[in-house]
């Protein structure tokens, strides 16, 4: 039986919430599992996006690429210890077909450095395409497009948004 609107909304919000909790809780290894196998993840600035300029800050076209980024963050890249606090809200879900929805949500991400210095690091929108199981019990990203409101990034963007 196809999921109804309430079930779809619930499934999407659960996915968004678990995703944010995983990133904020340093469970980076679970990050790729929020996507389908050929899931796509990109971060673009709103300025580029609105002008039709395709340049990504981050782009992964599969779970394998997401795992590569996690491996690089864990073993290759050098950055000061830090974590994020995501606040995600205003989620608007639209049905595409029986198993696919699009979702638009807002986010604010604070970055907390190891010494406690806390800044509003990024704000923006998630433009998601999400695949739901028949009963909406399981939801995964087919595409997650992160649109940053600002084109300015302080120092570096290591942990995913």
Q: Does the footprint of another protein cover residue 123 (CB under 8 A)?
A: no
Q: Does the footprint of another protein cover residue 113 (CB under 8 A)?
A: no
Q: DSSP character for 32?
A: G
Q: Does the footprint of another protein cover residue 117 (CB under 8 A)?
A: no
Does residue 45 sit in helix, strand or coil? Answer: strand
Calpha distance 9→22 (Å, rounded): 20
**Among the listed residues 5, 21, 25, 54, the single contact to another protein using CB under 8 A:** 54
Q: DSSP character for 78?
A: -
Does residue 132 sit in helix, strand or coil? Answer: strand
Please list, in sequence order, all residues whose beta carbon lies within 8 angstroms of the beta carbon of residue 9, skipping any fewer than 6 positions away: 91, 93
Nearest-approach distance from CB 21 to another protein, in angstroms: 22
Nearest-approach distance from CB 99 to another protein, in angstroms: 26
Residues forming the site for another protein (CB under 8 A): 43-45, 47-48, 51, 53-62, 64-65, 67-69, 71-72, 75-80, 151-158
């Amino acid at each position: 039986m196809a999921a109804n609107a309430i079930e779809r909304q619930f499934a999407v919000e659960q996915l968004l919430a678990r995703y944010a909790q995983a990133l904020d809780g340093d469970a980076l290894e679970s990050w790729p599992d929020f996507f389908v196998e050929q899931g796509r993840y990109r971060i673009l600035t709103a300025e580029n996006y609105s002008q039709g300029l395709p340049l990504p800050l981050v782009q992964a076209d599969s779970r394998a690429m997401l795992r590569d980024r996690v491996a690089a963050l864990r073993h290759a890249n050098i950055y000061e210890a830090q974590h994020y606090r995501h606040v995600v809200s205003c989620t608007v879900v639209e049905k595409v077909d029986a198993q696919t929805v699009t979702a638009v949500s807002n986010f604010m991400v604070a970055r907390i450095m190891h010494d406690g210095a806390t800044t509003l690091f990024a704000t923006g929108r998630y433009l998601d395409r999400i695949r739901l199981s028949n009963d909406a019990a399981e939801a995964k990203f087919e595409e997650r497009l992160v649109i940053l409101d600002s084109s300015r990034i302080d120092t570096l963007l290591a942990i995913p948004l």
